[in-house]
Structure 1
Amino acid sequence: MLRRRSPSSVDDTPVPVDDPKPQGKGRPTPKRRDAEGRRRQPVSAPKDRKEAYRQMRAKQAAERERARKGMLAGDERYYPARDKGPARKFARDWVDSRRLPSQYFLPFSLFILLVTWIPWPPAIQPVVIGYVITIGWPLMMFGVLFTSIFVAWKVKKQVAEKYPDESLRGVGFYAAMRALQIRRLRFPPPTVLPGGKPVPPKK
């Protein structure tokens, strides 16, 4: 007959604590981001609502400054939605590479105002104002209107040929409005000079 093994026969040899050859590390290898996170200093919570508001304002100001520098550098990630996309980029470059009559709309309007404000001699003033109102102003408005229609049509046509998969909605109006602005005040800033050459980097 087989004899049942006694429970006391179990090997009670203790496992040495200071085993010189441990089997494995006994814990998973920490991830790099977890290790870096532990090394970072904890963020101190604001003491009161005034301090929290000050921190929020400082963070927003830093984000606005970063976005402004990105837009000035030509980084499209920071552009508003209306300025993003290859179609809008093409429209900006097309307008910026040309000298159009409509871009002188604001300077000419200022010139007309100055002419009407100058205290001319009584014998000359009616003649000057008459020429300005009957000749100067209509010519300027006709030039602006003709240029805006031409720019919108031309840009929309070329965008359709160059980017057939892009939406044409608002592209013509976008180009016409940019053509009305003084070159130095255009935003996003021009990346090409009149003639098509790229704008040299600022030193």
Structure 2
Amino acid sequence: MGSNPFHPLPLGFVFRSRSKEEKAASTDKVSLTDSTQPRDPQAPKGRPTPKRSESQTQRRSVANTSMTRKDASKRQRDERRVQMDKQRQALAGRGNERDLPARDRGPVRKYARDYVDARFNVAEFFLPLAVVILVLSVVQVPALQNIALLLWLVVIVLILVDSFWNVFRLRKQLAERFPGESTKGAVAYALMRSLQMRRLRLPKPLVKRGERP
């Protein structure tokens, strides 16, 4: 028989040839990618290295963001400083009443302060009297010690009587001047103020003793 020029090639030879071609093509693609765009060591795996212009833009945006945050923080500090200065001026009686702390704002609290500041309160003299009584009790003289004990009792009774009278009068005045409005906490606020010496009260007194609030 004569030789057949169209004799088919073995299957193994065909598959080996295709696999070699695919490997060569993939190797060429990898080499082209590596040569044209090398990966940055700090870039995440599987992602191309950003261009230099993009990196500079990102760094510039980060810098601008940090400066903006810094400016905002400085602005907040300045505003807080201005607000505290306004509050000090208001407490000293030289500023606007709306800059007072929340516990001192409002017409009800202002009237409670004026009511206390316009009269003599026994409780405001407690600290000076306490010093005098303490000195008398230290002296080793029985008569003076007895006087000190008696003074303690008299001062405590006077403070209690005066405080009850203030509570009664102030509640009545608040009900007449502010009908339908909430006066919660105003009486306790006034009592705490009456325990302080006049020159140490904050906000500073705005009425004179004996003056009608």
TM range (shorter): 0.5 to 0.7
The CA deviation string for residues 11-50 of structure 1, in whole angstroms up to 9 with x for no partner, is xxxxxxxxxxxxxxxxxxxxxxxxxxxxxxxxx9987x99
Cα distance between partner residues in 2 of 1:146 and 1:170: 20
Cα 1:55–1:79 shift into 2, 3 Å: closer
Residue 148 of structure 2 aligns to a residue in which SS? Answer: helix
- Alpha-carbon offset, residue 194 of structure 1: 0.5
Decide whether the 8 Å contact of 1:152 with 1:171 is kept in 2: no
Cα distance between partner residues in 2 of 1:144 and 1:95: 14
Match of 1:150 in 2: 165
Which deviates more from structure 2 when the two are superposed, residues 148-157 or residues 52-61? Answer: 52-61
Structure with the greater relative contact order (CA < 8 A, sep ≥ 6): 1 or 2? 1
The CA deviation string for residues 78-128 of structure 1, in whole angstroms up to 9 with x for no partner, is 1122212211111111111111222211211122223334xx4x4x2x321
1:63 to 80, 83, 90: 83
Match of 1:5 in 2: none
Decide whether the 8 Å contact of 1:148 with 1:176 is kept in 2: yes
Q: Identity over the aligned pairs, expressed in percent? A: 36
Cα 1:69–1:153 shift into 2, 3 Å: same
- Alpha-carbon offset, residue 164 of structure 1: 0.2
Match of 2:12 in 1: none
1:95 to 99, 116, 123: 116
Match of 1:177 in 2: 192
Cα distance between partner residues in 2 of 1:195 and 1:186: 17
Match of 1:141 in 2: 156
Match of 1:129 in 2: 145
Residue 160 of structure 1 aligns to a residue in which SS? Answer: helix
Residue segments in structure 2 that go unaligned for 5+ positions in a row: 1-63
Cα distance between partner residues in 1 of 2:212 and 2:197: 19
Cα distance between partner residues in 1 of 2:157 and 2:197: 18
Q: TM-score, normalised by structure 2?
A: 0.59
Cα distance between partner residues in 2 of 1:129 and 1:50: 65
Match of 2:179 in 1: 164
Q: TM-score, normalised by structure 1?
A: 0.62
User: Relative to total residues, which structure has the larger helix share, 1 or 2?
Assistant: 2
Residue segments in structure 1 that go unaligned for 5+ positions in a row: 1-43, 199-203
| Mapped pair 1:113 → 2:163 | no
- Alpha-carbon offset, residue 54 of structure 1: 7.4
User: For the aligned residues, what is the CA RMSD?
Assistant: 2.9
Cα distance between partner residues in 2 of 1:128 and 1:163: 49
Equivalence map 1:75-90=2 (5 Å): 75-90=96-111
Cα distance between partner residues in 1 of 2:205 and 2:65: 44
Residue 188 of structure 1 aligns to a residue in which SS? Answer: coil
